[in-house]
Amino acid sequence: MSLTFLTAIERSQPLPAPILELGANDHAPIAHEPTGSGFSLDRTLGLGAPQIHGLLVDDDNLLGFGIYPGDRLIVDRSAAPVVDQYLVVRPEGDVEYSLRLLAPDPRGGLLLKAARPSIPSIVLDDLDSIEIWGVVLWVVSYVGHKQP
């Protein structure tokens, strides 16, 4: 599986002052344009906080989790993992990070399950044998049509 750690997350920018200064006569609102609710994607996702990072999904190895190539994962490095959350992990000896689902082991304890059933789960009986880089809080998907 391939994940790209994004070095910087693009931030939403405020509207330029000339647009904000337009009077009612200068700009007719569009009939279907929603009115302000104060929604901020940056605030919702926690972007800008030092513990929040973005990762890009590069391939289709996460389809079993419903995560597609091109999706962005918003990861919190300070969150404590809990069952049924996706974790960015690196087992001891591996050079690449991977995404796993933290799940209960039917025999007791915890497992890190892969998106593909053919990849064996990792039994979490020794937390020193695996690096938990962060907890995935959000999966951001683009569903529009790409421009040619």
Q: Is residue 77 part of a domain?
A: yes
Q: Dump pLDDT digits (tens) for 77-99.
A: 999 999 999 999 998 888 999 99
Query: Domain holding 36: CATH number?
Result: 2.10.109.10
Q: Is 39 exposed, middle or buried (0-12, 13-18, 19+ CB in 10 A)?
A: exposed
User: pTM higher than 0.75 for the full model?
Assistant: no
CA atoms within 13 A on the CB side of 86: 19
Q: Residue 81 is part of which domain span? A: 3-140
Q: Is 60 exposed, middle or buried (0-12, 13-18, 19+ CB in 10 A)?
A: middle
Q: Is residue 145 part of a domain?
A: no
Q: Dump pLDDT digits (tens) for 87-137.
A: 999 988 889 999 999 999 999 889 999 999 999 999 987 667 789 999 999
Total domains in the chain come to 1
Q: Is residue 147 part of a domain?
A: no
Share of the chain above pLDDT 90, in %: 49
Q: Is residue 148 part of a domain?
A: no
Q: Is residue 81 part of a domain?
A: yes
